[in-house]
Structure 1
């Protein structure tokens, strides 16, 4: 079966997976996706990896458009994703109403599962928050870092630590079995990221790619977007 090739931030993996059967039934095309840290996905596009759709942060999509790598006319906002806290299924939820309670929760954890703090949207933000809370050095030995949020959450689910916690984008938490969304980050520490889809300039299946983008944004799939962790507001 011919496939539509996607390079995407991990935040969109659950949503794409949920729409793939309907897209395949309509077009006869499967969906093959690489999902990971947005910086790494952008570098794969730059390296010439065959791609029909990219789904990355709005800021990174704009940069790729400036580089001439995507069709500016195809850029479509999908939705906003919050960075959030996660716990293992069955563990008590962690409350963080303000910076002080977030600081206490992170200090109380004996393992903190996060995505790459240099290449992923959520990981970069986590590093900033730890510095902001003045605990980066204190919790450094407790950080468990992985290439992307989905992988970090899978390892959180399997963790044998006594009091583990995770922090990544809500969509990656929701789509991972064995972990639970424990709440978004509090005011002053929050991050809401707008994700955007676009078609690369060298896409081989541009018309089919446009159809999948239409499905991703359609009013008919708004409930699926909500279930996957996407909010409709686009303020970042």
Structure 2
């Protein structure tokens, strides 16, 4: 079977998986490629890795369009994704209603599972929030940092820590077995990121890439997007 090659933020992996059967049935293409930290995915495209479609943050897709790496006319917003808190299934939920209660929850945890704090959307934000709360140095030794949010959440699910907590994008929490969404970050610490799809300028399957974008963003897929953790702008 011919493949459509994708480079995508991990935030969209669950949604793409949900849409994939309909896409394959219609086009005869399966979906191959990579999901991970958005900065790393953009660098792979810049480095020449073959890809037909990207799903990255809106700001990053705009930069790739400026660099001539994606088609500006093909850019289509998929939806907003919130950065949120996660706990292991069965653990008490974390109720962070404000910055003070978030600070207390993070200080009370003995392991904090997060994606890459340099190149992932959620990881960069977590680092900013820890600094904003004034606890970056206090919790530095408790941070368990992984290449992307999905990997971080899988390790949270398997953690034997006494009171672990995770922070990444809600879509990655929802799509990972063994962890539960425990609420968004509180006002003043929140982050909602728009994800955008676009066809690359070197696409070998541009028509199929356009069709996948149409399926991902169609009104008929609204409930699928909601279940995956995307919200409308």
TM (norm. structure 2) is 1.00
Task: Report the equivalent of 1:13.
Answer: 13
Distance 2:114 2:153 in 1: 8
TM-superposition CA deviations, 1:87-128 (whole Å, max 9, x none): 000000000000000000000000000000000000000000
Task: Report the equivalent of 2:156.
Answer: 156
Task: Report the equivalent of 1:79.
Answer: 79
Distance 2:65 2:28 in 1: 29
RMSD of the TM alignment (CA)?
Answer: 0.4
Distance 1:39 1:148 in 2: 11
Aligned residues: 233
SS at match of 1:216: helix
Task: Report the equivalent of 1:189.
Answer: 189
| Unmatched runs of 5 consecutive residues or more in structure 1 | none
Find runs of 4+ consecutive structure 1 residues off by over 4 angstroms.
none
Distance 1:162 1:91 in 2: 10
Note the C-alpha offset of 1:225.
Answer: 0.2
SS at match of 1:95: coil
Note the C-alpha offset of 1:4.
Answer: 0.3
TM-superposition CA deviations, 1:12-48 (whole Å, max 9, x none): 0000001101100001000113000000000000011
Distance 1:185 1:232 in 2: 18
In the TM superposition, 1:81-96 aligns within 5 A as 81-96=81-96
The answer on whether the counterparts of 2:33 and 2:51 sit within 8 Å (CA) in structure 1 is no
SS at match of 1:5: strand
Distance 2:78 2:204 in 1: 22
In the TM superposition, 1:41-56 aligns within 5 A as 41-56=41-56
Note the C-alpha offset of 1:64.
Answer: 0.5
SS at match of 1:127: helix
SS at match of 1:180: strand
Distance 1:95 1:144 in 2: 21
Note the C-alpha offset of 1:58.
Answer: 0.2
